Structure 1
Amino acid sequence: MWKLVLYDLFSYGILIYSVTLLASYIFIGVYSVGETRKYLRKSSFTDYNLLASSNYAPSVSILAPAYNEGANIIENVRSLLSIHYNHLELIVINDGSKDDSMVKLIDAYDLEVVDFLYHVHIPAKQVKAVYKSRNTVYKKLIVIDKVNGGKADALNTGINLASNQYLVCIDVDCILEQDALLKLVKPFMEETGKRVIATGGVVRIANSCIVQNGRLLDVNLPKEFLPRVQTLEYIRAFLLGRMAWSRLNGLLLISGAFGAFDREIVIKAGGYNPKTVGEDMELVVRMRRYMEEHDTPYKVAYIPDPLCWTEAPASYKILGRQRNRWTRGTIETLKIHRILFFNPRYGLLGMLSYPYWFFFEFLAPIIEFIGMAGFIFFALVGTVNWGFFFALLGFVLTFGWLYSIFAILMEVVTYNQYKKKGELARLIVTAMMEPFLFHPFVIWSAIRGNIDLLRKKNSWGEMTRQGFNVQPVAAVEKIALASRLRDGFYAYLPIAAGWLLMLLLLRTADFIYNGVIHQYPNQPAYIFLLSVLNELVFFLKINGVFLITYILLFLAGKRLADIVIISLSIIVTLVSIALMQYFSISFVPLGADLYGYSMNDIRQTVGASGGINAGVIIAIITVILGLLAIYKWISPRIRGAAKWVNLAAVVIAFTWIITGIFTADKFSIRDEYAGNLGKNKLDYFIAASFNHFFPQSAEAFDPAVTTGNGFDYVDEARYPFLHRDSTADVLSPFFNRDTATPDIVILVVEGLGRAFSGDNAYLGSFTPYLDSLGEHSLYWRNFLSNGGRTFAVLPSLLGSLPFGSNGFSELGDKMPAHLSLMSLLKSNGYHTAFYYGGDAGFDNMALFLQKQRVDRIYDIKSFPPDYPRLPENNDFSWGYSDKELFRHMLSKREQQLGGQPSLQVILTVATHDPFLVNEQDHYLAEFEIHLDRLKFSEKQKAEHRKYSHQYAAILYADDAIRGFINNYRSKPGFKHTIFLITGDHRLPEIPMSTKIDRYHVPLIIYSPLLKRTAKFESISSHVDIAPTLLAYLQHSYHFRVPLSVSWVGSGIDTAHHFRNLHATALKQTKTNLVDFIMGDYHLNEETLFKMNKNMDEEPDADPVMKARLKEAFAKFRQKNEQVTQGKPILSDSMYRAWYPK
């Protein structure tokens, strides 16, 4: 229980934090829009040419610290010197560079050492020399060469040497717009009521832009992914974020890349702090703090114009160093000025700006990292609510995408820097990829920044620059498209070969795992080869898609193509693992049935199965590391072989796509478990999903074709299933007529299959009591459920109804008006009730029963508190055990006694995955004893022990039924009661031998009213029960029943020999209607099987019979679809006449 409480606190804490953070983003974004519009209107009337030539413009000193900037320094200094401004000096501070920065500066600008007197206002490292140019063209330039002390120390040196009123601090690797300085100093001249102490502007990414002679000639969106995603990040941060804080006068940060400061206030505040790597933020906070403490009105202004262009890190290594440093700088600033935290003395600075940075800038990456780690932890302990997890993940991702698109649109309607063809689309695609390829790395870099700070690591780290493209556009060599495509193709081949190797290893491991944990199929070598073949088919299918994607991305950059395809291959592989895990638990591959369940149903099912266990997590981590290792060390070594192998694979793939000449599905396998084991689970899931969302058009067939049941339809065009009732009364010959109307108890046992119940059960019978009861009953050996899951049992058994699209009950309020055994018995005076140990809302059972006018529904919510529940797995329990369910039912029945006949429908739950029952140890011991009773060999015992919990649960259910029947014998009315016992479907968690096996269940009709017993070999199904019971009651007790009915079934067959008079559709899952039986034949998808008297089956190649079944099945599907689309089952008048009032 503590895990659930802890998980709830954790998950809702993350949710509340996320909502608060995103709400603040919305406010900031909206607030920025208004401020940006105001600025654009105001600046439209400004003539910057007048300001540039004015003698009244403020004097400015540009400070440009440089450390190892040799790649760009000449162009950047030239850019700064080209600024047209009257009162300007440019001070370049070489902070002990280890490269050739000083040599280049001396040569390019003809520098010489000069004597320079200055006052040391702020302590700084030793100045080795001060240089000025001999060339008067560069008279504004001053170069300082000093001992390395870091950026802050270099700037303090520049402040000491500066002679002008305002300081403009700029990274030397930046390129300025021609009017950048004019726009930056303008706020200093405008404000009169408040003193402007600092201004900043938008910084943009210059990667892939064309720069010549220090000027930006052409703006291009970066071609590489990392600079491009940083472009998007900068647009969000500068255009949306800082404009709002400027409007509030709450800015804590002026970018170190380009900002202007009041020199007097900078000196009074103490200059830059060399003991922090976040000197730019720390200075702004200290200047603001100084103004607040001296009660001086002030403002920190911000300009949305793109003023400065800088080179962004193009590698993860350099990016990691940058974000590490930013994190450490933020923490150091917050620590130094912690007195501000919610301190009203500092006004907005203390009450809003500082807390925002603490909670949403400093804590955000930590909380996000804790959230990721927390969900992994709770997945390991099995308490993750996956519905909540994916809902939260989807919410955050969707918000992030929308916010980025909003920022992009703001850029388009304001400055529209990226207006070349395709650039806007590439920005949007980048936004889609950012949460997966960029954001996690930034989070990890921030975490490493926290760790480094704790380790007292205070270095900047080497920030290597690539340098700007100094060639004009016309000089850029264009690589031939054909050559790039060829290079992309060859670059992809080693990745594909490495991934194929992992897929084959994973397939082999999956086959061995299922063989050891469960059982190897018959002909294991053949099935293994088939599974490998299916893996190759899947690889060929997806290889073509990956190749095209890779080559298209390769045109934008090899690194981007590698990252995307490797990430996709990892994701696809992990999804494959998840689907393999699903199969290893359920023995059926996951298909489109996923889409047929509500989130609540999925949550219950996943919770019951135990969630994601530690073994799965270890497998996932192993596969990820294995794939990365293959890509890093093995793929490059197989480049030569990969060239020809993958060339052949691509040719085969496209041949397969174009012609469809090959598919491993053409191999027919009678063994259900073996066939499913051999399938590629992801390929199956994708195909099933595609068919679900894009169903094939209905097959054409002769209008004269029928569904095979020989019904006399009333008006088939208007009412597809309405026909004249011709159900024979086959039960009266077996019953004594009673003076009282009989009570009917229908007991549906979860997962009860003939494979392990009754005589000739091929797994051995584990229901000794039901076997003995069957000797005193009417017993159908070859009975069928109409669904492979529980969803179909109530509509089929009680209503003989079609399936609809995802099960009749899933039609919800759109269920067409219909009659059923329950509603017609109620119209004939019966009291009706339904009993279930779990939640009756599962599979929409409660709603379906309410539409039958059921009198009472007793489910998990109705049990007294002293009733013990089933043991929990993953802190989840389906509800109450079968014994408690029967006890509850008998107590409620006694309260209802009053001479009124009753229909009681009971659905058990104990024999459902995870097969944990009360008295578990007792029934596991009973299982061992039962193995000896069955006289199994040691090999048979070993095979059965793999499913000991399943068999123990079956023995428990059988024992519970024994107690139920024995207790019922002592109750009034027992001698007037008819019991029907069947399974809802055969449980799939023990491997199935054939396709029909999942539907093969027993039917037992037991009653003191029986005058003789019998066993039947003929085939019938759940849809035949309601018509048969009503025919019996009409004939023996003069019940009123309609002359026309909409039953899908035609009644139970009581022939003692093997035969099948029915044509019946069977729905494997909610979305998978692929089975149809008619006569001795079973059609499963495109494969025809012939059944024998033991319900075993073999593939049959009879084309005539196959065509007949396909046409009859197509006719049924057409009718079923008509009902799904809204066609009525009954006329309104008939429904009103017979529906219980």
Structure 2
Amino acid sequence: MLEYRDEHIESKERKLRDFIPVVLTFFVGLAVLSIYQNTMLYSMGVLDSIFNSSFFLYLLHHLGFASVISLFLAFIFNLLENKKPGLGLSTVKITIPFLLVLEAVLITYYIQNFEPLGSDIFGLFSTKEIRFSLLQASMASLITGAVCFICYKYIASLYTVISRMYPLTIVFFSIFLATLYSDKKPVNENKTQYLAEHLTERLLQWNSYEGAEEYPLLRPFQKETGLSAYFRTMDSLPHIKIILVDGLGNDFVNGRFTNFMPHLQELKLRSLSWKNFLSNTGESHASFPTVIGSLPFGESGFTTLPDFTYRNTLYSVLKDNGYATSFSYGGNTALFNMDRFLEEEKVDLIFDRNNFGNEFSLQEEDAAGITLGYPDGALFSNFHKNAKEFHGPKLDVFMTLSTKAPFHIPNFDKYRDRVAQIAEKSNLDGSAQRFVRRNEALFSSFVYADEALAEFMEMERSSPHFSNTIYILTGSHQLSEISQDNPLAKYRVPLLIFSPLLKSPGEIEKVASHADIAPSLLALLSANRPVKVPGQLGFLGGDLVKQFIKKGDRQIPLLRSAYKMHDFIVDDFFYSDGEMYQLDQDLNLKELEDGNKTDVEAIEQKFENFKSINRYVTTKNRIIPRSLSLIEDRKPKFSKEEMIWIESVFNGKDFDNAYSNAKRLAFQKDYGRALLLCEYILSEIPRHADTEILVGRIHAWKGNYDKAIEILNRVIKKYPKYGDGYCALMDAYFWSGQNGGTYEIQRLSRKNGVQDKILDEKFKRSIALIVNKEEEEGGQSMQQKTVEIGSKRK
């Protein structure tokens, strides 16, 4: 028995002794191919160096890939070795060289075409533009094979050392798991893994769009709306203000928690209100483009789409009709690419976190030391103080954040006491009372938001445009912190439309959604005034008031959260996670009656059809044709070579780090590379203020003073509260000897409340030069006059 055990241990050690050197040699081969790639790209002038930070990240990704391949091969190896000794080792020794040759071929393709080979492999031979050298790939494979052969002999001889490193396999596998979540770039990604992932993704796209229409959402613009019956005749185009309150669910306006927002209740009594209204999404950022443009969601919200997509929204259509546009948000618009969306829409004024002055205070930081931004009171006050006068109509959009976790609001103790008082006087049952006490921060934030909205409306009443303004207020989604009794309740939000132009208030029972707001507003304006609207639009929604006549026409898609589209409404049926419910007039869910069960399959088919259309129009840029779009793709285009260099110096999503790299390059006087990296940063984060300032400074350092001054003047107009922009502009004026604009810049900075000691020193420096010049000119003038007087006396 002991002899058998020893023999078994010896056999197991022999297997490990054979297997481990092979897989370690596999990683060595991948490392050699990494050097091959970077050496070739460096020799072509694409990379600045062979061994850079991107190279070491490349090795890390290779290590992760080698680890998972080794884990898979270990299973195959043991299985085959147990069947026939030597079979497993032979299989591994065939597989590893094959993978190395494949990687060499894919890297060669990447080097010569500057892009990795993915699912486009299916059309590889249908194009004549593909460049590939079989000789170069063969040479790379042979050199890699020779290095691996030598290393394998050496590694095999060191088995006694390597055998003690067995626990590192766990570490290697952990590294692989970590690399799965890293933001890989083609220049530092294992090319075989890239190909495998893209082929798998393509094969799994089972519900692809197969319709005959190239633009399946495109429909003629409906010029009539049920809203017209509720409005008086408009003598001119009205101002429109849309307020999107984060997390404001139906419970606070039409449900059990109405006592916590008394001012909103008063506004409701003077407004058109919707009893059965829905957000199309469960995410704040995703609700914004649905409200503004009735746009499809993509996978996780329209603004997160990686590429530009032609469309028309309230912003673009109203701007085309002479409206001034603005967007106000106390947070960071770079999140979820909202800044890119706003720049594409050419919004005139953007009041985000960069554009609040020193008179406003940020919300309290959370446990991680992060603040969401500025509270609602500051949001509305900043708008009223800094919005520019405009003699035409305006579209102003507000997104709040005080009612978003962690619910940090100013004067928390004050509002917490108010919550306790309201709860005590309310008719809430014991369970609801306990819920309020356990979530006092949440309810305090809504009491605060209600007060901020009331103050905003009070300020609006004093505006000369108040009588000709339409106010639209809705919630982004229902807060997940508030439990609901059915899966549809999470989408229920209020909608209030208030305006002095209304004939009378009223409550509308029709089931409608965020996607219906934009089409209805445009129809309302068209019914009253001559408004230019494209003849066809790619909207998801329809009318807020008019009922659908044809069965199956009312479809309301619902995006639960990123990558989770599991809910769908067709007429009076609600489909959720494979379950079907019937809706009553109050949106309560009922079990299906036997007679309706035949409709389940048809509704499921409609849902699958919508999901395929949603994916198709957002990935293929097929919402509307380019000829109908009122906006253009202004994002700069980079060559493949430029993208490889950019990815070699910047990997990930930390654009502040990319900015630091650009600044370092500029200090090294590599202005061309610095400007290229800046251009890339701004293509992804258009409102990265420091990068915009750096671009202006680089032009000034190059001696292009007029260009620098032009750029930096745009910067201080865009970020009037940011002192660094003024400092850079003052430097450009000083270096170019153009100090005449100093007093105007000083006036602007003071008007916008900019307090900066360095800026003050720059003002003093330039003013001193102006004074000296005036004194010199004055002395010369006096001397000239003295000479003239003397001449006359003679």
**TM-score normalised by the shorter chain: which range applies?**
0.5 to 0.7
Show the counterpart of 2:252: 757
Q: Distance in 2 between matches of 1:1049 and 1:835?
A: 25
Aligned counterparts, 1:979-1128, within 5 A? 979-1053=471-545, 1062-1100=554-592, 1102-1128=596-622
Kindly provide the CA deviation profile for residues 956-993 of structure 1, in whole angstroms up to 9, marking residues without a partner as x. Answer: 21111111111221223122211000011111111122
Look up the equivalent residue of 1:853 and give its one-letter code. K
Distance 1:960 1:1112, change over 3 A: same
Look up the equivalent residue of 2:535 and give its one-letter code. L
Q: 1:1124, CA displacement in angstroms?
A: 2.9
Distance 1:1055 1:1121, change over 3 A: closer
Show the counterpart of 2:384: 890
Q: 1:780, CA displacement in angstroms?
A: 0.6
Distance 1:862 1:691, change over 3 A: farther
DSSP-derived class of the 1:1001 partner: coil
Q: Distance in 1 between matches of 2:427 and 2:55?
A: 54
The answer to whether the Cα contact below 8 Å between 1:699 and 1:1114 also exists between their aligned partners in 2 is: no
Look up the equivalent residue of 2:445 and give its one-letter code. A
DSSP-derived class of the 2:493 partner: strand
Q: Given the alignment, which residue of 308, 319, 339 partners 1:826?
A: 319
Q: 1:841, CA displacement in angstroms?
A: 1.6
The answer to whether the Cα contact below 8 Å between 1:784 and 1:1000 also exists between their aligned partners in 2 is: yes
The answer to whether the Cα contact below 8 Å between 1:1020 and 1:1062 also exists between their aligned partners in 2 is: no
The answer to whether the Cα contact below 8 Å between 1:824 and 1:1041 also exists between their aligned partners in 2 is: yes
TM-score of the pair, normalised by structure 2:
0.56
Show the counterpart of 1:795: 289
Look up the equivalent residue of 2:206 and give its one-letter code. S
Q: Distance in 2 between matches of 1:745 and 1:1032?
A: 15
Distance 1:1130 1:403, change over 3 A: closer
Q: Given the alignment, which residue of 429, 432, 442 partners 1:950?
A: 442
Look up the equivalent residue of 1:730 and give its one-letter code. G
Show the counterpart of 1:918: 410
Matched, 1:698 2:207: yes
Q: Distance in 2 between matches of 1:1117 and 1:987?
A: 25
Q: Given the alignment, which residue of 258, 261, 267 partners 1:767?
A: 261
Q: Distance in 1 between matches of 2:370 and 2:201?
A: 31
Q: Distance in 1 between matches of 2:587 and 2:200?
A: 30
Q: 1:236, CA displacement in angstroms?
A: 11
Distance 1:727 1:1090, change over 3 A: farther
Distance 1:1127 1:884, change over 3 A: closer
Matched, 1:1130 2:615: no
Q: Distance in 2 between matches of 1:876 and 1:842?
A: 14
Look up the equivalent residue of 2:464 and give its one-letter code. P
DSSP-derived class of the 2:276 partner: strand
Look up the equivalent residue of 2:352 and give its one-letter code. D
Matched, 1:850 2:357: no
Aligned counterparts, 1:72-83, within 5 A? none
Distance 1:1136 1:878, change over 3 A: closer
Q: 1:230, CA displacement in angstroms?
A: 11
Kindly provide the CA deviation profile for residues 709-758 of structure 1, in whole angstroms up to 9, marking residues without a partner as x. Answer: xxxxxxx612211111235222232223343321100000001110x222
Show the counterpart of 2:333: 840
Distance 1:1055 1:426, change over 3 A: closer
Show the counterpart of 2:215: 719
Distance 1:1054 1:1134, change over 3 A: closer
DSSP-derived class of the 1:891 partner: helix
Kindly provide the CA deviation profile for residues 477-531 of structure 1, in whole angstroms up to 9, marking residues without a partner as x. Answer: xxxxxxxxxxxxxxxxxxxxxxxxxxxxxxxxxxxxxxxxxxxxxxxxxxxxxxx
Q: 1:1132, CA displacement in angstroms?
A: 3.0
Distance 1:1106 1:798, change over 3 A: same
Look up the equivalent residue of 1:1116 and give its one-letter code. F
The answer to whether the Cα contact below 8 Å between 1:1020 and 1:1060 also exists between their aligned partners in 2 is: no
Q: 1:1054, CA displacement in angstroms?
A: 5.8
Q: 1:812, CA displacement in angstroms?
A: 3.3
Q: Distance in 1 between matches of 2:633 and 2:530?
A: 18
Distance 1:766 1:693, change over 3 A: farther
Q: Distance in 2 between matches of 1:692 and 1:921?
A: 52
Distance 1:773 1:1074, change over 3 A: same
Look up the equivalent residue of 1:751 and give its one-letter code. G
Q: 1:1103, CA displacement in angstroms?
A: 1.8
The answer to whether the Cα contact below 8 Å between 2:558 and 2:567 also exists between their aligned partners in 1 is: yes
Q: Distance in 1 between matches of 2:205 and 2:413?
A: 50
Between the two structures, name the one with larger relative contact order (CA 8 Å, sep ≥ 6): 2
Show the counterpart of 1:374: none
Q: Distance in 2 between matches of 1:1029 and 1:1021?
A: 13
Q: Given the alignment, which residue of 403, 427, 433 partners 1:935?
A: 427
Higher Rg: 1
Show the counterpart of 1:652: none
The answer to whether the Cα contact below 8 Å between 2:487 and 2:576 also exists between their aligned partners in 1 is: yes
The answer to whether the Cα contact below 8 Å between 2:301 and 2:562 also exists between their aligned partners in 1 is: yes
Q: Distance in 2 between matches of 1:976 and 1:1064?
A: 32
Q: Distance in 1 between matches of 2:25 and 2:390?
A: 78
Look up the equivalent residue of 1:757 and give its one-letter code. F
Look up the equivalent residue of 1:980 and give its one-letter code. I
Look up the equivalent residue of 1:735 and give its one-letter code. F
Distance 1:427 1:753, change over 3 A: farther
DSSP-derived class of the 1:1088 partner: strand
Q: 1:911, CA displacement in angstroms?
A: 1.2
Richer in strand (by share):
1
Instruction: Among all aligned residue pairs of Structure 1 and Structure 2, give the percentage whose two residues are the same amino acid.
Output: 27
The answer to whether the Cα contact below 8 Å between 1:1060 and 1:1080 also exists between their aligned partners in 2 is: no
Q: Distance in 1 between matches of 2:225 and 2:333?
A: 33
DSSP-derived class of the 1:844 partner: helix
Look up the equivalent residue of 2:333 and give its one-letter code. A
DSSP-derived class of the 1:812 partner: coil
Kindly provide the CA deviation profile for residues 1013-1038 of structure 1, in whole angstroms up to 9, marking residues without a partner as x. Answer: 10111111111111111111111122
TM-score of the pair, normalised by structure 1:
0.40
Look up the equivalent residue of 1:920 and give its one-letter code. F
The answer to whether the Cα contact below 8 Å between 2:311 and 2:631 also exists between their aligned partners in 1 is: no
Q: Distance in 1 between matches of 2:60 and 2:382?
A: 47
Distance 1:209 1:1071, change over 3 A: closer
Q: Distance in 2 between matches of 1:235 and 1:699?
A: 38
DSSP-derived class of the 2:345 partner: coil
Q: 1:859, CA displacement in angstroms?
A: 0.9
The answer to whether the Cα contact below 8 Å between 1:947 and 1:990 also exists between their aligned partners in 2 is: no
Gaps of 5+ in 2: 32-52, 71-80, 97-162, 185-198, 635-794
Show the counterpart of 1:783: 277
Q: Distance in 2 between matches of 1:1063 and 1:236?
A: 53
Show the counterpart of 1:972: 464
Aligned counterparts, 1:46-65, within 5 A? none
Q: 1:882, CA displacement in angstroms?
A: 0.7
DSSP-derived class of the 1:698 partner: coil
The answer to whether the Cα contact below 8 Å between 2:308 and 2:633 also exists between their aligned partners in 1 is: no
Matched, 1:728 2:224: yes
The answer to whether the Cα contact below 8 Å between 2:296 and 2:618 also exists between their aligned partners in 1 is: no
Distance 1:1074 1:691, change over 3 A: farther
Q: Given the alignment, which residue of 267, 289, 305 partners 1:811?
A: 305
Distance 1:427 1:965, change over 3 A: farther
Q: Distance in 2 between matches of 1:1128 and 1:741?
A: 31
Show the counterpart of 1:866: 359
Distance 1:959 1:923, change over 3 A: same
Show the counterpart of 1:580: none
Kindly provide the CA deviation profile for residues 142-183 of structure 1, in whole angstroms up to 9, marking residues without a partner as x. Answer: xxxxxxxxxxxxxxxxxxxxxxxxxxxxxxxxxxxxxxxxxx
